[in-house]
């Protein structure tokens, strides 16, 4: 090419892209990595009756008596804390939860998470009639993150977690319970 005084050649962009595509191994259609989990804690939150803002938003305040229990953390919920539950047009529920854990040794850990809930009409009817639902009754998954200034619990600041509902009940003894796992 005119005007080039170095021994470097200009490779047309199309040839470069083709060479790159050939040199990068193609995935066989499956994942190139995997996710492992490590159990962190069980979270139990007694719930007030919902505040129905409108047909698309319910707010469940967390009552006193909520707790977390795991191999590296134990504590209770301290106010304020609540679940903002959005009812989507498709019937899926979207969670927006915020709460504070006070550990048994007095440290504070903020936890927040979104999530998705989908139950069959039969399971929703059972729940609304006061029955307790179990883990496999509904799709009920959360994605907690944590925030703390505590040196002892600073490891939580770097954890992305996933939670799965263990039990859910409305009415007398209203509560939600999850098992929470660190994603690795």
pLDDT at residue 57 above 80?
A: yes
34-183, what's its fold?
Answer: Porin (2.40.160)
Strands (E), the chain: 37-46, 51-54, 57-61, 67-69, 74-87, 93-103, 108-119, 132-134, 138-147, 161-169, 175-183
Can you tell me the distance from the alpha carbon of 120 to that of 128, in angstroms, rounded to the nearest whole number? 12
Model pTM? 0.81
pLDDT per residue as tens digits for the range 130-175: 999 999 999 999 999 999 999 999 999 999 999 999 999 998 889 9
- The DSSP H or E segment spanning 49 is none
pLDDT per residue as tens digits for the range 24-42: 555 678 899 999 999 999 9
pLDDT at residue 5 above 70?
A: no
pLDDT at residue 19 above 60?
A: no
């Amino acid at each position: 090419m005119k005007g080039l005084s170095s021994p470097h050649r200009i490779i047309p962009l199309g040839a470069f892209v083709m060479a790159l595509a050939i040199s990068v191994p193609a995935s066989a259609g499956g994942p190139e990595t995997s996710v492992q989990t490590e159990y962190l804690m069980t979270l139990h939150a007694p719930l007030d009756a919902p505040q129905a803002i409108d047909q698309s938003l319910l707010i469940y305040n967390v009552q006193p008596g909520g707790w977390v229990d795991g191999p590296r953390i134990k504590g209770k919920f301290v106010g304020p804390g609540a679940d903002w539950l959005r009812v989507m047009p498709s019937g899926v529920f979207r969670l927006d939860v915020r709460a504070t854990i006070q550990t048994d040794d007095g440290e504070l850990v903020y936890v927040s998470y979104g999530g998705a809930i989908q139950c069959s009409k039969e399971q929703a009817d059972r729940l609304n009639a006061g029955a307790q639902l179990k883990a496999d009754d509904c799709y009920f998954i959360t994605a907690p993150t944590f925030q703390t200034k505590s040196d002892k619990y600073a490891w939580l600041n770097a954890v992305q977690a996933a939670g799965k509902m263990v039990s859910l009940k409305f009415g007398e003894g209203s509560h939600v319970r999850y098992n929470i796992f660190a994603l690795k």
